[in-house]
């Protein structure tokens, strides 16, 4: 049986959780018959097994998307919008069960999982609305000799690759704009959390998804499987969310066929607190920016810079708040911070903490992994973190807050920008004009100005520098799946 764990019972009573590949509208096993075990990071038990695709299955999935492409592109925007809106309604209706599914395979607290489902569903609603409002342009050439007509066409077959940390939202943030734009797609979710993606695909089918418009391929061999999809002659677009390291590899492969690429990569978000900030609200924002998903978010505050006069008060407040966080299995309603995704994640977090301590940082809270069976790391606060500590330069992806004291504004801007990443930055100040002025000097695609949360379906989400290319969400996210076509005409 592929759904092995009793914990899944309340989910599967209401939500269909397929465990095979979705290809051309049918659920089918991998050609090799192989399967992948999906484990619960809170107790390391096997929840289910799903089909383990190889590159041949991947090619078949792209064939299916290619076969459906022309008919789907020819449907009306309203037809596509209606499908997305029905999926939005189904996701909302089943949100408790979907949240439980996310918690079981990803580990995050139920509160975080419910917030994710609400956020994920909104992409279906936003793109249902946005897909029917897309405008072109008609202009005169400066010479007056002819007209310039500009329209947008679907880019074509799209390969969507998503990470495990937001198994629903990272998938819907790609599926909804791709389908709204008139593209067909193959989704490859992370092997750690395939069940949520499969359940979302089943909801789309329930809402009336035509065969081949969205295909889903789960695999334990992402390298060859994604390569087979990117080198398929019908693939036109790669939309990837994951680490910068893997993103670089995929950009190289995509270069051979000059694919359009949307890349949502890693981050190293600074969280700056200026002396004139409202400390209570900065602490509240810090907890959201640091602890959403137990720190396993690309937008997670990775390094705190606090100005001298408020440094001690901020540290004291953060330690108190972090110490009060209840750590445990996500399915306990009282849990605020679940386990990390796997033992490797715990080892990586611990390595970064050890490195900082070896270089002179002090742990005021936490600082050592918790005992199993799950993969738990406690909320940790580090102070006196020296500039060369790895934790200030690498994504920690866990509940660790390294704090650095600074005195001058200029000094902090240089520290903030001293990174290859540029996804998001947080800045707290009581003077909005000062905040906006500083924001202009910050090298990141997004800034939370007196806010610890930036994600919004209506906002362009994405990074500069090595945090990515392109944007998701907003109208920009729809245009990512379209090509601009210009027609020169005279009349
Ligand atoms: P990851 O790069 O290891 O994996 C992401 C996806 O790529 C998964 O589906 C994985 O199976 C696949 N993959 C892994 N190796 C591959 C290869 N060689 N070829 C093709 N595909 C491959 O990242 P992760 O650990 O799943 O997720 C965490 C990372 O994602 C963090 O760096 C985080 O910052 C980033 N992230 C970014 C955003 C964003 O919007 N910018 C959002 C969420 C997560």
- Catalytic one among 97, 105, 192, 264? 264
* pLDDT interval class at 1 (50, 70, 90): very low
Q: Is 205 in the pocket of ligand 1 (CB under 6 A)?
A: no
Decide if 215 is inside a domain: yes
240 sits in the region (left: phi over 0; alpha: psi -120 to 50; else beta) called beta
Do 190 and 260 belong together in one domain?
Answer: yes
Please say whether the beta carbons of 196 and 101 come within 8 A.
yes
Do 316 and 449 belong together in one domain?
Answer: yes
Range of the domain at 393: 269-456
Average pLDDT, the chain: 97
* pLDDT interval class at 5 (50, 70, 90): confident
Decide if 384 is inside a domain: yes
404-426 pLDDT, tens digit each: 999 999 999 999 999 999 999 99
Decide if 373 is inside a domain: yes
Do 308 and 389 belong together in one domain?
Answer: yes
Decide if 461 is inside a domain: no
Check residue 392 and report its DSSP letter. Answer: G
Do 200 and 294 belong together in one domain?
Answer: no
Q: Is 194 in the pocket of ligand 1 (CB under 6 A)?
A: no
Decide if 1 is inside a domain: no
Which of 105, 120, 246, 292 best tests ligand 1's pocket when mutated (most atoms within 8 Å of CB)? 246
* CATH value at residue 348: 3.40.309.10
Known active-site residue 264: yes
177-218 pLDDT, tens digit each: 999 999 999 999 999 999 999 999 999 999 999 999 999 999
Give the number of the atom of ligand 1 that is nearest the alpha carbon of residue 423.
41
User: Atom 30 of ligand 1 has which residue's CA nearest to it?
Assistant: 242
Do 220 and 109 belong together in one domain?
Answer: yes
What's the mean pLDDT in 433-451?
97
Which of 226, 242, 345, 472 best tests ligand 1's pocket when mutated (most atoms within 8 Å of CB)? 242
* pLDDT interval class at 349 (50, 70, 90): very high
Decide if 462 is inside a domain: no
The CA-based angle 17-24-222, given to 5 degrees, is 70
- Name the percent of the chain lying above pLDDT 70: 100
* CATH value at residue 107: 3.40.605.10
Rounded to the nearest angstrom, the distance between the alpha carbon of 473 and the centre of ligand 1 is 18
Give the number of the atom of ligand 1 that is nearest the alpha carbon of residue 188.
9
129, pLDDT greater than 80: yes
15, pLDDT greater than 70: yes
Decide if 213 is inside a domain: yes
2, pLDDT greater than 80: no
DSSP track, 154-175:
E--EEEEE--SSSTTHHHHHHH
396-407 pLDDT, tens digit each: 999 999 999 999
Q: Is 246 in the pocket of ligand 1 (CB under 6 A)?
A: yes
Number of compact structural domains in the chain: 2
Neighbours of 358 (CB within 10 A): 9
Do 258 and 288 belong together in one domain?
Answer: no
Task: Identify the CA nearest to 19 among candidates 43, 40, 47, 55.
Answer: 47
Q: How far apart are CA 436 and CA 428, in angstroms?
A: 11
Do 478 and 361 belong together in one domain?
Answer: no
Cα 297 to Cα 241, 293, 344, 395, distances in angstroms: 12, 6, 16, 9
Check residue 461 and report its DSSP letter. Answer: B
Q: How far apart are CA 281 and CA 450, in angstroms?
A: 8
* pLDDT computed for residue 411 by the predictor: 94
Known active-site residue 192: no
Prior bond to 15 cis, omega within 30?
Answer: no
* CA dihedral over 235, 236, 240, 246, signed as positive or negative: positive
- Catalytic one among 298, 395, 472, 480? 298
The CA-based angle 299-302-306, given to 5 degrees, is 120
* pLDDT interval class at 7 (50, 70, 90): confident
Do 276 and 154 belong together in one domain?
Answer: no
What's the mean pLDDT in 25-40?
98
Do 253 and 273 belong together in one domain?
Answer: no
* pLDDT computed for residue 376 by the predictor: 98
Please say whether the beta carbons of 21 and 2 come within 8 A.
no
* pLDDT computed for residue 372 by the predictor: 82
47-80 pLDDT, tens digit each: 999 999 999 999 999 999 999 999 999 999 999 9
Decide if 199 is inside a domain: yes
Residues paired with residue 157 on neighbouring β-strands, in sequence order: 235
* pLDDT interval class at 331 (50, 70, 90): very high
Q: Is 163 in the pocket of ligand 1 (CB under 6 A)?
A: yes
289, pLDDT greater than 60: yes
* pLDDT interval class at 490 (50, 70, 90): confident
What's the mean pLDDT in 347-373?
97
Do 290 and 161 belong together in one domain?
Answer: no
Rounded to the nearest angstrom, the distance between the alpha carbon of 163 and the centre of ligand 1 is 5
Do 331 and 394 belong together in one domain?
Answer: yes
Q: How buried is residue 301: exposed, middle or buried, by Cβ count under 10 Å (0-12/13-18/19+)?
A: buried
Q: Is 208 in the pocket of ligand 1 (CB under 6 A)?
A: no
Q: How far apart are CA 101 and CA 193, in angstroms?
A: 9
Residues paired with residue 50 on neighbouring β-strands, in sequence order: 36
What's the mean pLDDT in 31-54?
97
Do 378 and 291 belong together in one domain?
Answer: yes
């Amino acid at each position: 049986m592929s759904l092995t764990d009793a914990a899944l019972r309340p989910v599967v009573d209401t939500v269909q959780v397929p465990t095979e590949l979705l290809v051309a509208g049918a659920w089918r096993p991998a050609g090799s018959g192989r399967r992948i075990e999906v484990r619960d990071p809170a107790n390391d038990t096997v929840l289910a097994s799903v089909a383990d695709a190889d590159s041949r299955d991947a090619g078949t999935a792209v064939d299916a998307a290619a076969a459906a492409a022309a008919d789907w592109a020819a449907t009306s925007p309203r037809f596509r919008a209606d499908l997305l809106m029905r999926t939005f309604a189904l996701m909302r209706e089943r949100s408790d069960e979907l949240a439980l599914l996310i918690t079981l395979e990803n580990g995050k607290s139920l509160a975080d999982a419910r917030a994710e489902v609400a956020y994920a569903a909104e992409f279906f609603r936003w793109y249902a609305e946005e897909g029917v409002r897309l405008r072109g342009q008609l202009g005169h050439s400066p010479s007056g000799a002819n007209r310039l007509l500009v329209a947008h066409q679907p880019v074509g077959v799209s390969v969507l690759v998503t990470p495990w940390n937001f198994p629903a939202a990272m998938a819907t943030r790609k599926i909804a704009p791709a389908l709204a734009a008139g593209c067909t797609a193959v989704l490859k979710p992370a092997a750690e959390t395939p069940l949520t993606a499969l359940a979302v695909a089943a909801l789309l089918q329930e809402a009336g998804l035509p065969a081949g418009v969205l295909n889903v391929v789960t695999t334990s061999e992402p390298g060859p499987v994604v390569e087979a999809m990117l080198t398929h002659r019908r693939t036109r677009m790669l939309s990837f969310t994951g680490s910068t390291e893997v993103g670089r590899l995929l950009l190289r492969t995509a270069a051979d066929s000059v694919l359009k690429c949307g890349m949502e990569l890693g981050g190293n978000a600074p969280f700056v607190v200026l002396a004139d900030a409202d400390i209570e609200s900065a602490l509240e924002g810090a907890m959201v920016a640091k602890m959403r998903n137990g720190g396993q978010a690309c937008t997670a505050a990775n390094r705190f810079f606090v100005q001298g006069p408020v440094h001690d008060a901020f540290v004291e407040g953060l330690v108190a708040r972090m110490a009060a966080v209840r750590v445990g299995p996500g399915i306990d309603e009282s849990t605020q911070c679940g386990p990390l995704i796997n033992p490797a994640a715990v080892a990586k977090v611990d390595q970064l903490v050890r490195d900082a301590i070896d270089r002179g940082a002090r742990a005021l809270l936490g600082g050592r992994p918790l005992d199993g069976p799950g993969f738990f790391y406690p909320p940790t606060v580090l102070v006196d973190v020296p500039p060369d500590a790895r934790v200030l330069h690498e994504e920690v992806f866990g509940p660790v807050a390294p704090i650095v004291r600074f005195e001058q504004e200029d000094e902090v801007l240089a520290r903030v920008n001293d990174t290859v990443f540029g996804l998001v930055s947080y800045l707290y100040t009581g003077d909005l004009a000062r905040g906006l002025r500083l924001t202009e000097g910050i090298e990141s695609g997004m800034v939370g100005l007196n806010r610890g949360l930036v994600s919004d379906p209506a906002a362009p989400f994405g990074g500069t520098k090595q945090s990515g290319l392109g944007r998701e969400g907003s109208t920009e996210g729809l245009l990512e799946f379209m090509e601009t076509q210009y027609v020169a005409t005279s009349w």
